[in-house]
Amino acid sequence: MDAALKAVDEVVKSQNKSAVKEAVDAVTQALQVVGKRFQNGEWFLSELVYAGEISKEIMNLLSPLMQSEPSQSQGTILIGTVAGDLHDLGKNIFINYARSAGFKVVDLGVDVPTGKFVSAVREHKPIALGMSCLLTSTEPELGKVIQELKKQGLREGVKIVIGGAALSQRVADDIAADAFAPDAITGLDIIKGWSISK
Amino acid sequence: MNFKERFLTAMNHEEPDQVPVMGLIMDPATVNSILGRKPTDFVGLLHKPLLGYPIKALLNTNWFWNNMYYSNTAGALEGAIKLGFDANWTIYAIMKLDKDSRASSGWSWYDPFGRIWDLAADADGNIAVNYSRALCDTEDKWEQWVQKRAPLFEDMITNIVSFHKKLNSYGDRIYPIGYAAPGIFENSWQPIGFVNFTRLIYQKPAFVKKVIDFHTELYLKSLDAVMKSDVEVVLGGDDLGQKTGPMMRPELIEKFLGESYRRVTQFVHERKRKFVFHCCGNIYALLDKFIEWGFDGIITLEPTAGMELGRVREQVGHKLVLIGNMDVSYLMVKGTQQEVEDAVKKAIRDAARGGGYILSTSHSHPTVDPVRLKWMVDAAHRYGRYPLSL
C-alpha cells in the first residue's frame, strides 16, 4: 500500500490531468484483475478487501483533482443492509469496487427500514438497488422492500440484486428479485450488464 | 446402542446401529417453542421507566447471568431430548449489558474479547443477539482492552468449568458436546474488525501474531475448562470460510494460525478427547489443512456456501468425521416434510457409509423450526439404520 500511495502522491504533486486519468484507469483495471482472480478462487477475501482499501485511499488522494473532470458515472447504485441486520463487510467491499468501476454509489448503511429503501429509490432513481442480508431471520425484509416498491409503482424502474451469506437463487426467485449475487464482484458484474443494456 | 455409544462409534468411523443425530439447539426462541415456555421479555423490561437500570444491574451480576444462561442451555438439552436427538452442543458465553445509542434497542452487550452484540427481541419477547461491531479497531485500543478485561477472562474460565460440570447431570439422557467458543481466529479479528485486521496482516504482521498468540493461550484455558467436565467430544471453531471460499489465503492461515490449531488438537488429544472443528463457509480449500492440523471432525458444511457432503467425503475419505449439512436457510425454516426427508436420505447416502457421519443442521438461528427438526430426526431413524439400504 505504501508504494502505491507514494506513486500516487507524485501524480498529485504533478497536477498533471492526464497522469491523474492514467492513475484512475490503472486502479480500475487493477481492481478488475483482483475481482476476476477472486471469482476464480485464485485470490481470497482478505486480498479482495486489502486491494479495495488501497484503491479507496488512492481515490481519496486523486478525487480532488478529478472534480473538474466531466462526470464519467456509469449510473447510480443504491445499496443497504436490510432492517434488523448490522453486517456490512460484503456491502462495503462492493461499494469500493463499484465506485472504482465508475458508478455513483449511495450507501444507505445497515439496519435500513423498508421506507428508507423506497424513498431513496424515489429520490435517486438508481439503475440498481442492492440489498444485503446475512441473517436468515432478516431475510423476509428483502421481500417487504420489493412489495413496497411494487405498491408505490417504483419496481419497474429499478433492477434489484440481493446478496449475503443466508441467500441463494431460490430466495431471489421467491421474492422476485432480478438477481442473486454470491459475492460482491459477481454483483458488480451483474449491474455492469444492466448498465450496458440500459 | 444408547445415544453415547452411537455417537462415539460414528466418531470412530465405525457403523453404529443408526446414524446419530446431533442438535445445535441454543436460541431462546427455539428452546421456548419446543418446550412451550413463555419467554421473559428482558428487552421490554429494560424500556420500562425505573426498571431499566435495576434490570441491567441484575443481568450484569455473575450469579444471575450464569443462572439465566444455564436455564436456557438446560432448556436446549430438554428440547433436544424431547425431539429425539442423541447429542446437543453446549456453549458457555459471558456478556455484559450497557446502554448503547447505536443499538436498535438502546442497549447492547459487550463480550470479554471486545465485540459489541446488538440486543433485540422477537415479536414474542425472546432475546435475539447479533454481532454488531468491533470495539478495538486500533492496536492501542486492543492492548488497553485485554489489559482491562483480565478479571472478566478469569471469571469466564471459572464459569466455563462450573457450567459444563453442571451439565454432567444430563449425561444419562443425552450426550452434551462441549463447545469452547468463539475460536482463536474469530476472537482475534472480530474485536478489531475484518477490514482493520486485514490491513494489519499486511502492514503489522507482528501485532497480528501477538493478538493470535494471546487468544491461543486463552483458548487453551477455555478448552481445559470445558474438559474438566465429562465432555468427551469437544467442539471448537472458527469461521475460516465465507460464501465462496476461505476468508484468507490458506498459506496465510497456515502462517498465522497453523501452529495454534496444532497446539489445540495436541492439547485435546493428550486429554483423550476428540476435537471437532466448527467452520462455516466454503472450505474445500482448507480440508487438507484440517487433517494436517489433527482435527477429528468438522461441523457445519453449509450447503448455502456450496458444501456438498459427497464431494467432501470424496476429498477427505474417513480422515474426518463429518457433521451437519442440513440447510438452515430454507429447508429447516420452511421446507416441506418430503424435502426434509429427501435431504436426510441424500446426506446419509453421501456420507454415512462406514460410519463417520453425524446428521445435524448446518447451524442454528432463531427461525429454525422445531417441527422440521423433528421431521429430520424421524427421517434419520427411518432411513439411517445400519446396514444402510439407501
What is the DSSP code (8-state) at residue B257? Answer: I
Cα gap A23→B224, rounded to integer Å: 54
- Give me the CATH number covering residue B315: 3.20.20.210
pLDDT at A67: 58
Cell of B128: 435475539
Asked if the peptide bond before residue A126 counts as cis, ω within 30 degrees of 0, the response is: no
Domain A2-66 part of CATH 3.40.50.720: no
In a domain, B306, yes or no: yes
pLDDT at A11: 85
> Residue A29 belongs to what H/E stretch?
helix A17-39
Given a cut of 90, whether residue A1 has pLDDT beyond it is no
pLDDT at A70: 44
pTM score of the predicted model: 0.92
- Pairwise CB contact (< 8 Å): A50 & B330: no
Q: Which stretches of chain B sit within 8 Å of chain A by CB?
A: 104, 118, 120, 128, 130-133, 194-195, 198-199, 201-203, 242-249, 252, 280-281, 285, 304-305, 328-330, 333, 365-367
Return the ∠ at Cα A140 (arms to A138 and A141), rounded to 5°: 70
User: Average pLDDT, whole number, for chain A?
Assistant: 90
Q: A168-189 pLDDT, tens per residue?
A: 999 999 999 999 999 999 999 9
Cα gap B251→B269, rounded to integer Å: 25
Q: A66-123 pLDDT, tens per residue?
A: 754 445 578 999 999 999 888 888 899 999 999 989 999 999 999 899 999 999 999 9
In a domain, B58, yes or no: no
pLDDT at A88: 87
Express as a percent the part of chain A with pLDDT over 70.
Answer: 96
pLDDT at A20: 86
Count CA within 13 A, CB hemisphere, residue B269.
Answer: 11
Cell of A191: 449491474
Phi, psi values for residue B242, rounded to 5°: -120, -170
C-alpha pair distances (Å), B261 with each of A194, B160, B294: 45, 21, 8
Beta strand B321-324 with B297-300 is parallel
- Torsion sign over Cα A159, A165, A167, A168: positive
Q: Which residues in chain A touch residue B129, judged by CB atoms under 8 angstroms apart?
A: none
Asked if the peptide bond before residue B387 counts as cis, ω within 30 degrees of 0, the response is: yes
Q: A107-122 pLDDT, tens per residue?
A: 999 989 999 999 999 9
Q: List the domain range (segments joined by +) for residue B34.
A: 3-38+75-94+136-383
In a domain, B104, yes or no: no
Architecture of domain A76-197: 3-Layer(aba) Sandwich (3.40)
Cα gap B380→B18, rounded to integer Å: 8
In a domain, B126, yes or no: no
- Torsion sign over Cα A182, A188, A192, A195: positive
In a domain, B336, yes or no: yes
pLDDT at A15: 84
In a domain, B360, yes or no: yes
- Pairwise CB contact (< 8 Å): A53 & B199: yes
Number of domains in chain B: 1
> Residue B324 belongs to what H/E stretch?
strand B321-324
Assess contact for B208 and B197: CB atoms under 8 A. Answer: yes
* ipTM exceeding the 0.95 mark: no
The closest alpha carbon to A133, from A91, A105, A98, A174, belongs to A91
In a domain, B282, yes or no: yes
Q: Which residues in chain A touch residue B133, judged by CB atoms under 8 angstroms apart?
A: 86
Rounded mean pLDDT for each run of 10 residues along chain B, 390 residues in total: 98 98 95 94 87 91 95 97 98 94 88 93 86 93 96 96 96 96 96 95 97 98 97 95 96 98 98 97 98 98 96 98 96 97 98 98 94 98 96
Cα gap A109→A78, rounded to integer Å: 10
Question: Residues 9 to 38 of A: which have CB under 8 A from any B CB?
Answer: none
Domain boundaries, chain A: 2-66, 76-197
**Could you give the angle at which helices B205-226 and B194-203 cross, rounded to 10 degrees?**
120
In a domain, B102, yes or no: no
pLDDT at A63: 81
Q: B203-214 pLDDT, tens per residue?
A: 999 999 999 999
